[in-house]
Amino acid sequence: ITCHQHFNKYIIQWISKQFYSFNSITMNDHNYYTSKTYGPTDPMSKDLWVNVDQMDKEKVKIHGILSNTHRQAARVNLSFDFPFYGHFLRDLTVATGGFIYTGDVVHRMLTATQYIAPLMANFDPSVSRNSTVIYFDNGTALVVQWDHVHLQDSYNLGSFTFQATLHSDGRIVFAYKEIPIEVAQISSVNHPVKVGLSDAFVVVHRIQQIPNVRRRTIYEYHRVELTKTKITNSTAVEMMPLPTCLQFTSCSSCISSQINFNCSWCHRLRRCSSGFDRHRQDWVDNSCPDETKDKSCDIINTTQLYPFTTTLVAKTTGRSRGETTTARASLSTSLSPTSVPTEGKTTNVCPKAENSNYSAERKGTHPLHTGLILGILMVMLIMAATVLVTVYIYHHPTSAASLFFIERRPSRWPAMKFRRGSGHPAYAEVEPVGQEKEGFIESEQC
């Protein structure tokens, strides 16, 4: 009897443990987001599922192209600002592969980064008439539902029905209605299988050897990977955004912030950042990393310390090239000896010097003119040598020098493109037009 009681107690404890571990709310902290996973018996999993059939028929849209093609993506405009990793987005790209692309630069490898993926896989809505891609925007939330979609390489496994809801407060909900197999068993040979979020920043590099050609490199700075084993029928995942540096709009609130990031204020851009977000190129081009070494807001009061200065600064920052043009007006000649910081640079303004210093300055002008003349002579010699070499190559096309330059002419230089491997499928129909080179670099996870 004692053995029988212990056996029953052990069985009850084991069943309770399995039931609790499967149905309890799992919480995770991902620096930028906190996630909660609700089991199939939890009431929240049913509440988080949005029944599109009960929504306003005029606002529910079935995308005809996405519902009948494979590896297609289409742009969807939002009626509200959606905060994603601290950035406000107004348009997204919905893909047939069970994910939403959030990047501005549309390229072949949409599955690499900058995505919201409730279940990224090799779905092909064109293999079944019942497969549709539906989206619904009510002004405060966007619901995208992949309804009865099948895997292209495993049609017999059954259909999948799941959705992603993006709320105006930044909250993201993944809800699952039909998941016929374990997500871990879905093949990733022809398409990546991912569940989670990702964001990156794009850096544009000019190639000096080839005019009018730029290379875009994508750096992934953070990724949220959810547990695939908890994605089953009638489950849901809720992700809440955490505070980021981008939400602070003043220097004092930025440097005194108590969040998970090391926030710094850039006076040139008037922006608070940790240095790793979508504005990374502007942050570096404006020397913000050097400026933020001294965490102080005193530089803001320079205009109050020197009210008699008449400095006019006009700055235009290019969105893709990061070019900055700064115009400065002349300062008054009646200033006292001091230094005025302008746009991160120090311009020394001094009064008339004494006679001894003035004579020394005149003596130093002679070596300056000598160096300038030598520099002009060197440039002229180089130009003459270039002309002679060009004439020689033109009249002797079979010489070694001619063959050397012919083999290395720009039209024969190889173009760097994305690796088109099995794990990185190409969404070719959204490839941008123009001569641009692309690359992808995955940085360390934050």
26-82 confidence digits (pLDDT tens): 677 788 999 999 999 999 999 999 999 888 888 899 999 999 999 999 999 999 999
Pairing mode, if any, of strands 73-84 and 60-62?
Answer: unpaired
* Confidence (pLDDT) at 146: 98
Q: Does 229 score more than 70 pLDDT?
A: yes
Domain ranges of the chain: 26-242+434-443, 246-292
4 — pLDDT class (breaks 50, 70, 90)? low
Instruction: Tell me the backbone φ, ψ of residue 193, rounded to 5 degrees.
Output: -115, 110
Per-residue pLDDT reduced to its tens digit, 341-396: 333 333 333 333 333 333 333 344 455 578 888 889 999 999 998 888 888 777 77
Q: Which of 186-195, 198-207, 285-294 has the highest mean pLDDT?
A: 186-195
Question: Mean pLDDT, to the nearest integer, of 281-285?
Answer: 92
| More confident call, 150 vs 416 | 150
**What angle is formed at CA 277 by the lines to CA 175 and CA 317, rounded to 5 degrees?**
130
As given in the structure block, the two tokens for residue 80 are: 């509200």
pLDDT averaged over the chain?
75
Q: Does 288 score more than 70 pLDDT?
A: yes
| More confident call, 144 vs 415 | 144
Question: Mean pLDDT, to the nearest integer, of 311-315?
Answer: 32
* CA-wise closest residue to 224 among 28, 29, 30, 79: 30
* CA-wise closest residue to 142 among 115, 119, 117, 167: 167
| More confident call, 7 vs 431 | 7
422 — pLDDT class (breaks 50, 70, 90)? very low
The HSE-up count of residue 248 (CA atoms within 13 Å, CB side) is 23
* Confidence (pLDDT) at 393: 75
Q: Does 439 score more than 90 pLDDT?
A: no
Q: Does 310 score more than 50 pLDDT?
A: no
107 — pLDDT class (breaks 50, 70, 90)? confident
* Confidence (pLDDT) at 323: 35
* CA-wise closest residue to 215 among 318, 105, 65: 105
407 — pLDDT class (breaks 50, 70, 90)? low
Q: Does 164 score more than 80 pLDDT?
A: yes
